[in-house]
Amino acid sequence: MTAGAPVAAPFDAVLTGLGTRLVRDDGVVLTWDPARWRAGAGPEDDWLLDRCTGPTVDLGCGPGRMVAALVGRGVSALGVDSSSVALGLCRRRGVPVVHRDVFARLPGEGGWSHVLLADGNIGIGGDPLRLLARAARLLRGGGTVLVETGPDPDEWWCGTARTCGTEVPWACVGAAALRRRAPGAGLRVVADSPPGERGFVELRRR
């Protein structure tokens, strides 16, 4: 759930349950559920997991539930997170993880079949197009980026938000807005999840 080192500390607190709210600079309050992140992947994650049929990197993996689920399915997977708490939780789970900024050079550059941005991680860094372009560079030909989107399909919000007393750059993106803007990152939407409590989009390099 975290990006670079400067913002890792507040998310350390979130992952330990000390903070569950992100207050955007426009006053909107987002509520997170770190207990769900620390639990195993559930049926609501299957839309994403079913599409990961080859080597997958999970950016902002948090405690590693998605990586653990993929490894359990026999899919090669790697988690990436800058939070030291996330790193410890992943290692306790026994899942492969690197302690790194998602914008830093990562193992397997240009060779991944899929990139995961689940649990609101499209917000990392506060610039969705930059993050999507980064994800696209991690992919091999024909690879896909799998994104969890927000409840408002037309939302494209970028700004700062405060959690655990610290401001971080963040973004919130809806599925329709993502479809319109993804070409700016060299991607196109190829699939959407059915209507439900959570929404997901699959994008492929153009």
In this predicted structure, the answer to whether residue 4 has a pLDDT above a threshold of 60 is no
CA distance 88 to 83: 9
pLDDT score of 16: 78
What is the per-residue pLDDT across 112-163, written as a single tens digit (0 to 9) for each? Answer: 999 999 999 999 999 999 999 999 999 999 999 999 999 999 999 999 999 8
pLDDT score of 6: 44
Q: Which domains does the chain have, with CATH numbers?
A: 5-205 (3.40.50.150)
In this predicted structure, the answer to whether residue 1 has a pLDDT above a threshold of 70 is no
Task: Place 7 in a pLDDT band, splitting at 50, 70 and 90.
Answer: very low
In this predicted structure, the answer to whether residue 53 has a pLDDT above a threshold of 70 is yes
pLDDT score of 3: 47
pLDDT score of 32: 85
What is the per-residue pLDDT across 58-116, written as a single tens digit (0 to 9) for each? Answer: 999 999 999 999 999 999 999 999 999 999 999 999 999 999 999 999 999 999 999 99
pLDDT score of 164: 80
- In the chain, which ranges are continuous DSSP H helix? 8-15, 34-38, 46-50, 65-72, 84-93, 128-138, 175-181
What is the per-residue pLDDT across 27-50, written as a single tens digit (0 to 9) for each? Answer: 999 988 888 888 999 999 999 999
β-pair partners for 58 = 79, 116
**SS3 per residue for 117-167:** ECCCHHHHHHCHHHHHHHHHHHEEEEEEEEEEEECCCCCEEEEEEEECCEE
